[in-house]
């Protein structure tokens, strides 16, 4: 009798667990569907990219930015009031023949373009959200993915605790109103799907604590975020050190896109090859002195859109630090190192055609002028894994080579 009673208790417990799991799974399913409906706005037209992406052409006034309560009655700005003066014209650069670079495109352009009055948005798929640790964390960076060039943190071990590693150049100690760089584009190999490799510029305000403001833009390879190993254009913002605010690309309300040609998060094509053709992208982010918004330009002609100034606290005024360079995630434990590459996967000393570079790095000053940065510092956690080397000349202005292979005989 006692045995039957125990069996009944066991069976009831099992049913409870199974039903609970089923309910949990149904709840997650509904949560994901709801999130996808929020992100994927009704398109005017859809374009299938050769890499499997769907690019939705969404009416400019229906984009995710306008889900933000503060933007309900926002009048979209079609262009910035002011553009930084003294722009380094990439089209007029007398690059030596052996250092010639080529124009770049996005892969989806091969299959069409978006109609006027719409913007291209990469459609989020169910699998994209399922790869994230939770629906809430989808499209967000993990905490402390910011390089700390000097021991500003009370505990320097925090740098390595997050598993993020960097090779950067930076400037600090002034008020900065923007930054620019031309970056060559590679397809670094990623060891684990939960790791990434990126090259970007950071525009930073606040401390490296909980109040950090950051605007970021560049290229990245992130299997976790996109489900493949393609090199993609991306942006990011946060006003509280990656905790609750901000996201990649257009995966939350914030950035207002006005450009109908370039899709955030879409694949860049072609990419640079070792000892072969080099392809680079130019990125400029600057603060419009009239409206106070932060604008982004891609290449010499594509003004992509802007981050409204109300999103930020410190950056509502100016930035206190600018960083340029590479970042990877090392998810290996017990002091071992990932073989995820940064940049081209080759060290800086290999130079043009082999190593990755940032050239014509500039900052925007209080008079809205682009100028050469003063007092450039460099930083890397483990120079035997990823390194950085700066230089300057007449063609490339201030530049640096950076990156590395990760795990190697010198980086076990």
Known catalytic residue: 381?
A: no
Q: What is the pLDDT of residue 156?
A: 38
Look at strands 294-298 and 302-307 and give their pairing. Answer: antiparallel
Parent domain of 247 = 35-79+86-141+163-403
Q: What is the pLDDT of residue 159?
A: 44
One of 216, 323, 332, 381 is an active-site residue; which one?
Answer: 216
**Distance of alpha carbon 322 from alpha carbon 13, whole angstroms:** 57
Residue 359 within any structural domain of the chain: yes
**Strand pairing category for 294-298 and 278-287:** antiparallel
How far is residue 326's CA from residue 242's CA, in Å, rounded to a whole number? 18
Asked if the structure places residue 26 within a domain, the reply is no
Per-residue confidence (pLDDT) for residue 15, from 0 to 100: 61
Per-residue pLDDT of the chain (412 residues; tens, 9 = 90+): 666 766 666 666 666 555 555 555 788 889 999 999 999 999 999 999 999 999 999 999 999 999 999 998 999 999 999 999 875 544 443 344 445 566 678 999 999 999 999 999 999 999 999 999 899 999 998 765 678 775 443 333 334 446 899 999 999 999 999 999 999 999 999 999 999 999 999 999 998 888 999 999 999 999 999 999 999 999 999 999 999 999 999 999 999 999 999 999 999 999 999 999 999 999 999 999 999 999 999 998 899 999 999 999 999 999 999 999 999 999 998 888 999 999 999 999 999 999 999 999 999 999 999 999 999 999 999 999 999 999 999 999 999 999 999 999 999 8
Surface-to-core class of residue 54, CB atoms within 10 Å of its CB (0-12 exposed, 13-18 middle, 19+ buried): middle
How far CA 338 is from CA of 197, 237, 405, 412, in Å, comes to 11, 27, 9, 9
Query: Following DSSP, what letter does each residue of 292-343 receive, concatenated?
Result: -PEEEEETTTEEEEEE-GGG-SGGGT-EEEEEEEEEEE----TT------BT
For position 150, what pLDDT does the model report?
57
Query: Which pLDDT value is given to residue 301?
Result: 87
What's the sign of the alpha-carbon dihedral 89, 91, 97, 103? positive
- Nearest 10 degrees: Cα torsion 144, 147, 150, 151: 20
The whole-angstrom separation of Cα 374 and Cα 378 is 13
Q: What is the 3-state secondary structure of 39-75?
A: HCCCEEEEEECCCCCEEEEEEHHHCHHHHCHHHCCCC
Residue 216 among the catalytic residues: yes
Question: Does residue 151 lie within any of the structural domains?
Answer: no
- Is residue 168 assigned to a domain? yes
Number of domains in the chain: 1
Residue 27 lies in a domain: no
Q: Which helix (H) or strand (E) holds 7?
A: helix 2-39
Q: Which of 187, 195, 323, 327 is catalytic?
A: 327
pLDDT of residue 121: 98
What CA–CA distances, in Å, run from 362 to 7, 179, 280?
73, 6, 16
DSSP H or E run through 9: helix 2-39
397, part of any domain: yes
Largest CA distance in the chain: 93
Could you tell me the pTM of the whole model?
0.89
4 lies in some domain: no
Residue 250 falls within a domain, yes or no? Answer: yes
Alpha carbon separation from 131 to 32, 160, 187, 332 (Å, rounded): 12, 24, 21, 19
What distance lies between CA 348 and its chain's CA centroid? 22
């Amino acid at each position: 009798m006692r045995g039957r009673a125990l069996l009944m208790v066991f069976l009831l417990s099992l049913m409870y667990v199974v039903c609970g799991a089923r309910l949990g799974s149904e709840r997650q399913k509904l949560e994901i569907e709801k999130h996808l409906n929020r992100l994927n706005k009704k398109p005017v037209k859809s374009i299938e990219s050769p890499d499997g992406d769907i690019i939705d052409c969404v009416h400019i006034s229906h984009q995710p930015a306008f889900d933000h309560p503060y933007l309900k009655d926002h009048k979209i700005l079609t262009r910035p009031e002011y553009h930084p003066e003294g722009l380094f014209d990439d089209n007029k650069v007398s690059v030596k023949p052996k250092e010639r670079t080529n124009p770049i495109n996005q892969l989806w352009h091969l299959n069409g373009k978006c109609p006027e009055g719409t913007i291209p948005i990469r459609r989020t798929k169910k699998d994209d959200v399922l790869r994230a640790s939770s629906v809430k964390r989808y499209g967000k960076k993990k905490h402390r993915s910011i390089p700390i060039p000097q021991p500003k943190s009370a505990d320097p071990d925090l740098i390595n605790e997050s598993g993020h590693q960097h090779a950067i150049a930076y400037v600090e100690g002034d008020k900065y109103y923007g930054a620019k760089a031309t970056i060559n584009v590679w397809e670094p190999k990623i060891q684990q799907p939960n790791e990434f490799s990126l090259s970007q510029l950071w525009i930073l305000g606040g401390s490296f604590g909980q109040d950090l403001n950051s605007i970021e833009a560049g290229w990245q390879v992130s299997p976790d975020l996109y489900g493949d190993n393609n090199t993609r254009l991306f942006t990011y913002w946060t006003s509280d050190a990656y905790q609750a605010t901000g996201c990649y690309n257009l995966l939350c309300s914030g950035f207002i896109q006005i450009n109908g040609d370039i899709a955030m998060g879409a694949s860049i094509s072609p990419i640079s090859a070792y000892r072969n053709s080099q392809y680079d992208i130019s990125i400029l982010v600057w603060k419009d002195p009239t409206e106070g918004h932060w604008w982004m330009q891609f290449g010499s002609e594509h003004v992509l859109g802007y981050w409204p100034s109300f999103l930020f606290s410190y950056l509502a005024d100016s930035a206190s630090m600018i960083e340029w360079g590479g970042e990877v995630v090392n998810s290996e434990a017990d002091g071992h190192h990932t073989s995820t590459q940064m940049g081209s996967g080759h060290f800086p000393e290999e130079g043009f055609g082999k190593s990755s570079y940032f050239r014509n790095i500039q900052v925007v000053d209080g008079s809205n002028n682009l100028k050469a940065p003063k007092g450039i510092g460099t930083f890397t956690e483990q120079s035997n894994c990823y390194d950085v080397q700066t230089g300057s000349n007449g063609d490339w202005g201030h530049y640096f080579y950076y990156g590395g292979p990760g795990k190697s005989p010198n980086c076990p």
